[in-house]
Amino acid sequence: MAVLFAVLAMMVRNVVVNLAAIGKEFSFGFLFTPAGYDITFSPFIEYTSRSTHLRAATVGVFNTLLVAASGIVLATIMGFILGIVRLSSNWIANRIVYVFIEFARNVPVLLHIFFVYGLVVILLPAPKKAPSIWDLFFLSNRGFFVPSPVFESAMWIVAVVLAAAIILTIFFKRWAKKVQNRTGHRYPVFWISSGAIIGATAIAFIAAGMPLTWEIPVLKGFNYKGGMSIKPEFIALWFALSYYTSCFIAEIVRGGILAVSKGQTEAAYALGMRPNRTLQLIIIPQALRVIVPPLASQYLNLTKNSSLAIAIGYMDITATIGGITLMQTGKEMETMLIVMCCYLVFSLTISALMNWFNRSIELKER
């Protein structure tokens, strides 16, 4: 440890000496100066070229979190489906999934991103020829345009009722689980919970006077105005990272299922359980203890791979504070330190959540 800290101290001293030699000052004052560049995709906070570098960095953080969270959800769903189909007795489905997985895993993820982005930009039509669904949704090479919600003042009532309904269904699920373990009686938790959440929210929405309107995108000039646009850069990055990571998750899922003894399946069939219920209630819960630890690594890889967004112009934290801001201000140390700390926080948060989930499903000895 003494040697480690000595090396770190020497590196810090070297940085200070070199910065002083070239007349640079280590400070973060540049964060509060105007950024002077545009960000085309900022769905959460308002941003203009007159905003500060700090706001640009904030937009980049939210964009990174958006693509990481969306990618983790889609990659998990696709990975579990591919992993289960990979074990299918249907030879054609099995081989198709096998070829897809081997192709995706053995091609660099950056090439997948370029490939999907090229398909989106080249194959999709221009805004004037964009296909529409009910004249509400429009898909073009400028992005996917959808109506955006406009909330009125009474919408907070609906939000409170929705949150309360979700909390109550969580308690109901736990209670139903205890009843099932004690008596064997099984409640339709999914349907009751869904009905309670949807029903309570709908009643509150109607009682509050339907405090929600929609802004419809309209073609003006060469592009759509109004509504909400999902840029092609986000679509390409999200889909490419998702299906690339899902191929690794599929192999993890396949290995986890194969790790469960075949006798568990035979015992479930002997009790008269159907194959889908056997997979849902017997195989997957036991396989999760094998699946979750390596699954956390894939979530971390997807989040860090999102830094490749700069290659197609998606403005994440690497492209904003670690790209344009760095070039404009010349603050290499400060900007890279911010980017590194952001990814460190993202990774530690994902690790903490996955470790908590892993502890919740591990075997409890009595």
For the chain, how big is the Rg over CA atoms in Å? 25
Q: How far is Cα 41 from Cα 231, in angstroms, rounded to an integer?
A: 7
The mean per-residue pLDDT over the stretch 154-169 comes to: 85
Average of per-residue pLDDT values in the chain? 84
The mean per-residue pLDDT over the stretch 330-356 comes to: 89
Q: Which of 273, 286, 279 is nearest to 84 (CA)?
A: 279
Given a cut of 90, whether residue 72 has pLDDT beyond it is: yes
How buried is residue 272: exposed, middle or buried, by Cβ count under 10 Å (0-12/13-18/19+)? Answer: exposed
Given a cut of 80, whether residue 364 has pLDDT beyond it is: no
Determine contact, residues 352/301, Cβ cutoff 8 Å.
Answer: no
Q: Using a pLDDT cut of 90, give the percent of the chain over it.
A: 17
Q: Residue 365 has what pLDDT?
A: 63
> What is each CA distance from 317 to 126, 179, 232, in whole angstroms?
29, 48, 18
pLDDT digits (tens, 9 = 90+) for 105-120: 898 989 999 988 888 8
- Which pair of structure tokens corresponds to residue 312? 């197609």
Q: Residue 352 has what pLDDT?
A: 92
In terms of phi and psi (left: phi > 0; alpha: psi -120 to 50; beta: otherwise), the region of 18 is alpha
How does residue 366 score in pLDDT terms, banded at 50, 70 and 90?
low
Across the strands, what pairs with 213? 150
CATH superfamily of 22-122+234-361: MetI-like (1.10.3720.10)
Q: Residue 68 has what pLDDT?
A: 92
pLDDT digits (tens, 9 = 90+) for 169-190: 888 888 888 888 888 777 788 8
The residue extents of the domains of the chain are 22-122+234-361
pLDDT digits (tens, 9 = 90+) for 201-225: 888 888 877 787 777 777 777 777 7
Q: Which of 347, 212, 361 is nearest to 286 (CA)?
A: 361
Of 93-107, 212-226, 323-337, which has the strongest mean pLDDT? 93-107
Q: Residue 50 has what pLDDT?
A: 85
Given a cut of 90, whether residue 148 has pLDDT beyond it is: no
Q: Residue 31 has what pLDDT?
A: 85
How does residue 144 score in pLDDT terms, banded at 50, 70 and 90?
confident
Q: How far is Cα 129 from Cα 139, in angstroms, rounded to an integer?
A: 9
Q: Residue 139 has what pLDDT?
A: 79
pLDDT digits (tens, 9 = 90+) for 119-139: 887 877 777 777 777 777 877
Across the strands, what pairs with 229? 145
Determine contact, residues 295/252, Cβ cutoff 8 Å.
Answer: yes
Given a cut of 80, whether residue 300 has pLDDT beyond it is: yes
The mean per-residue pLDDT over the stretch 58-67 comes to: 90
Q: Which of 34, 74, 27, 79 is nearest to 252 (CA)?
A: 79
pLDDT digits (tens, 9 = 90+) for 275-289: 778 877 888 888 888
Q: How far is Cα 82 from Cα 87, in angstroms, rounded to an integer?
A: 9
